[in-house]
Structure 1
Amino acid sequence: MREEWGISDSDPLYLNVARYEPQKGQRTLIEAMKGVVDHSTSAHLLIVGWGSLESSLRTKVDDAGLSDAVTITGRVPEIHGYYAAADVFVSASAFEGLPVTILEAMAAECPVVATDINGVREVVLDGETGRLVPPDEPMQMAAAMREFTDKMTRERFGKQGYERVHDQFTVEQMVNRYLRLYSSLFDQ
């Protein structure tokens, strides 16, 4: 996957997977990359997805002079290789339910940098499985992203994220939680 997009194995690779819609905050991620590449010129961000903002996101990347650092991929046929190749998963959503892409990233041992919002803060433990930053704060997002340029830090957070998903968010555990919830509703 890195070879397909011309990204060296030694380049820090950030990944975002989401629909290209305003609430997903990719504009904030593009702005944050300015602060990342100022410190790590070889860093790269892949924004994978589809949606109504695809053209405007491409324009924002070009206007910011970040075409060497940010790639808007559009829809891809298979996503697992992207999670496997990424060093850090990033999300700048304004709101979420249960953030499945974050769970997928954590299952792939990717540390997470995301916005501190409902849904996300139930999954990502700040300082343990990733970093949480306020929404619409590209400079704070960039600072959190830069924390993961150290490989050992990425590995530690990634392992802890994997363990959290394995311990708390498997299909069996989710089904059991729903069954307990439904049972408690019937008992009332």
Structure 2
Amino acid sequence: MSRIEVIAPNLKKRLSGVTSTIVQLVPVQARTLGIATIGPGLPDSLPKIGPAQFFGLWRRPASGRKRIWHARRNTEMVAGLVLRALGAPLHLVFTSAAQRHHRPFTRWLIRRMDAVIATSRRSGSFLEVPHDVVMHGVDVADFHPASGPEDKFAASGLGGTWAVGCFGRIRHQKGTDLFVDAMIALLPAHPGWTAVISGRVTPEHAAFADELKSRIADAGLRDRIVFLGEVPDIKLWYRRISLYVAPSRNEGFGLTPLEAMASGVPVVASDAGAYAEMIVDGETGSVVPAGDGPALVRAIEPFLADPAYTAACGRKALADVAARFPLEGEAAGIRAVYEKVWARG
């Protein structure tokens, strides 16, 4: 505990985008910073503090500085405030990805933080306190373009020459229905393409998923619009597709376009979340209004019509992500916020 200067709590057992951020980011931060996680649902590979170390929070680390408690959820802000009220010497930092006005209680919590980070300019526009914008990054070593035979779409055993993908939880919010409708409209005119959908279907969204499968069957496209379910390694499927579609109606930040572009794949996305700030429209992909099905069809069609153009946009996407969104850049941006907090005492 004497070396730990930052605590990254994860007070939610179910996997979420926040959990994914912690899992990817903490190992990079740990290269130059004493940081540990606390909470359930995290892999054993991450540095953690357990029950035996918990009361060490009431002692400052060897540096003499207060530890930083970096919250990303309301529950974690509350926990930090309680710990500080009980005498733990903590600075409180909060990261907000919300694309909406916060509720009164959340605003009350945010006002009590020592520093606030927004994950995009858009999320920052909903904050009523001073903040720094630090956009999420992606591990460009972990997500990378196809390099071997297994990475090729042909290795999937599915039909077609090229694939267009839509990954994430299957639900209305994520716009899975918009993607399915776009594929039903476009695939008959583009016989070389197959659509693949991957993601979890929770019980409350099972009827939604079943209705989509009925639409696909009615269109006679069951062999060309394929539900993969949850796959063991989604990184492989990013390498196998040639185009990625992110049609969310609303989103917090949304990492999947960065993961696709780091894999050398261009992206057609809605303007939900931070998507519009990730994509260079007309170069690394296209951006359409959230919830606009006809606009989504129009944006996807040029990529299906010209695979060479699609591949060229994928190369630009890879270069752009490597330059603007490496995970190390996110870690450096957050570290700069920490240093400002520490400088204030």
TM-score above 0.5, yes or no: yes
**Partners of 1:36 and 1:143 within 8 A in 2:** no
What are the within-5 Å matches in structure 2 for residues 8-27 of structure 1?
8=160, 10=161, 12-27=162-177
What CA distance in whole angstroms lies between the structure 1 residues aligned with 2:292 and 2:255?
23
**Partners of 2:197 and 2:228 within 8 A in 1:** yes
What CA distance in whole angstroms lies between the structure 2 residues aligned with 1:125 and 1:185?
33
Q: CA deviation at 1:5?
A: 4.3
**Partners of 2:164 and 2:241 within 8 A in 1:** yes
Give the match for residue 159 of structure 2. Answer: 7
What CA distance in whole angstroms lies between the structure 2 residues aligned with 1:16 and 1:155?
18
What are the within-5 Å matches in structure 2 for residues 35-184 of structure 1?
35-52=185-202, 53=205, 54-149=209-304, 150-184=306-340
Give the match for residue 146 of structure 2. Answer: none
Counterpart of 1:60 in structure 2: which amino acid?
A: R
**Partners of 1:57 and 1:72 within 8 A in 2:** no
Question: Cα deviations across residues 112-139 of structure 1 (Å, max 9, x unaligned)?
Answer: 0110223111211211210011122222
Q: CA deviation at 1:66?
A: 2.7
**Partners of 2:166 and 2:198 within 8 A in 1:** yes
Which structure is richer in relative contact order (CA contacts within 8 A, separation 6 or more)? 1
| Alignment: residue pair count | 186
What CA distance in whole angstroms lies between the structure 1 residues aligned with 2:317 and 2:340?
30
What CA distance in whole angstroms lies between the structure 2 residues aligned with 1:130 and 1:25?
18
Return 5+ residue gaps in structure 1 as ranges. none
Matched residue SS, 2:278: coil
Structure showing greater Rg? 2
What CA distance in whole angstroms lies between the structure 2 residues aligned with 1:39 and 1:60?
18
**Partners of 2:159 and 2:223 within 8 A in 1:** no
Give the match for residue 181 of structure 2. Answer: 31
Report the CA distance shift for 1:185/1:95 in structure 2 as closer, same or farther (over 3 A): farther
Return 5+ residue gaps in structure 2 as ranges. 1-152
Backbone CA RMSD of aligned residues = 2.0
Matched residue SS, 2:312: helix
**Partners of 2:244 and 2:267 within 8 A in 1:** yes
Tell me which moved more, 170-179 or 55-64. Answer: 55-64
Percent identity of equivalent pairs: 27
Q: CA deviation at 1:50?
A: 1.0
Report the CA distance shift for 1:34/1:55 in structure 2 as closer, same or farther (over 3 A): closer
**Partners of 1:14 and 1:44 within 8 A in 2:** yes
What CA distance in whole angstroms lies between the structure 1 residues aligned with 2:343 and 2:170?
43
Report the CA distance shift for 1:25/1:105 in structure 2 as closer, same or farther (over 3 A): same
TM-score, reference length from structure 1: 0.88
Question: Cα deviations across residues 21-72 of structure 1 (Å, max 9, x unaligned)?
Answer: 2210000011111221242134221010112333333233223433232111
What CA distance in whole angstroms lies between the structure 1 residues aligned with 2:262 and 2:254?
13
Counterpart of 2:310 in structure 1: which amino acid?
A: R
What CA distance in whole angstroms lies between the structure 2 residues aligned with 1:97 and 1:170?
19
